[in-house]
Amino acid sequence: MLTEGEKRSLETFVGKPVDEIETPALIVDLDAMQRNMDKMMRFLSKNDKGLRPHAKTHKTPAIASMQMQRGAVGITCATIGEAEILADGGVFDILITNRVVSEGKILRAVALTRKTDLKIAVDSEENLIDISDHAHKSGVEIGIVLEVDIGHRRAGVRTVEEALELARLASRLPGVTYEGIMGYEGHCVFIESLEERKKVSSIAYDRLLEYKDELSNAGFSPKIVSSGGTGTYLLAGEQRGITDIQPGSYIFMDARYANVEGVEFEQSLTVLTSIVSHPEKDIYICDAGTKSMSQEFGLPLTLPSLNLEATNMSEEFITLVSRPDTLREAEEYLGNLDELYGSAGFKLGLGSKVHLIPSHCCTTCNLHDVLYATRNGVVTNVWRVAGRGRFA
């Protein structure tokens, strides 16, 4: 939580060039982000599908509000803590895709129903009964979305029979309302070949629609049939029977998606760093490491025109080495940012600011207290990443 003094200090950066921000810092180019939002909405509108974007990516109520204003049917989040932040920020329709299991968390969910239309994913009778008991005692209703496994082998019921039993129970218990089903094809989203991704995801969607059809035949037709991530938005967004999709990374993008064919959104998120050491001719050390950029999907990219490659990252530092033309494959993917922040005539030296593209936008965002919103290289707003660390 930022103090009032810290908030006022950060607000002094509004109207200043990005290069004046203290580093390391999380930066989003608003024009690119909003183009990504609009592109997704145009695609889904054409296919008569709804958007229920995942806030685990940005954890920022201001961005969730922008998504709702552009036509999202609701916001998806991962935890009750994230949902509380979003509801306090005015989001009026929230789906929690994680399990809400303990008594304390269920009571917090009950309280949330007074601020937002809340839905929770479940995959067990025990959890469903607990949610029903607490909601009924408090005189509220919570929407229930059954999670079904469609190949990811994580959470979700494994059989149609289990789904039917849960639907029957959700339909007769007090304090809850049966809303539908969701299934996440997470094993598909990073398959680089679009053709191969189509093959694998089609099996997942067939399974999801089998659940849908069996539930409908038994009298439990789901209003919500939700699936899809950024890597599969093209496929889930055109799949019959799916009502809405849950992409998150599409607004920011990251280095992991650079080679995922067909996912043609713009990179809008960077981590701004400063060169703090130049010990050899072609080696530059910057002040951002694993405490400001996650590394689970690999090292970050640099802007192509800088001809630098990340070779090592520690807690506080990253090593960049001059490697002419090694990043040409990223030129198209990072073209707009390169034009804005790169430039062929950029001179590298102590204090120079370098924009890095993290390998994973979601976990990187969770490392920062604030997000600097910019247009044309100038800070227009400083947003608190209010959902940061809200794991519980």
Give the pLDDT confidence of 335-355 residue by residue, as tens digits. 788 888 876 556 889 999 999
pLDDT of residue 70: 97
d(CA 146, CA 183): 9
- In CATH, the number for domain 4-27+264-384 is 2.40.37.20
Domain at 30-251, CATH class: alpha beta
d(CA 220, CA 93): 22
- Residue range 110-119: average pLDDT? 98
- Residue range 217-237: average pLDDT? 98
d(CA 335, CA 313): 25
Q: What percent of the chain has a predicted confidence (pLDDT) above 70?
A: 95
**In the chain, what are the domain boundaries?**
4-27+264-384, 30-251
pTM across the whole model: 0.95
Q: At 175, is the pLDDT very low, low, confident or very high (cuts 50, 70, 90)?
A: very high
Judged against a pLDDT cut of 70, whether residue 271 lies above it is answered with yes
Question: Are the C-beta atoms of 328 and 311 separated by less than 8 Å?
Answer: no
- Residue range 201-216: average pLDDT? 98
Q: At 1, is the pLDDT very low, low, confident or very high (cuts 50, 70, 90)?
A: low
d(CA 91, CA 74): 8
Question: Are the C-beta atoms of 183 and 204 separated by less than 8 Å?
Answer: yes
pLDDT of residue 339: 86
Q: At 323, is the pLDDT very low, low, confident or very high (cuts 50, 70, 90)?
A: confident
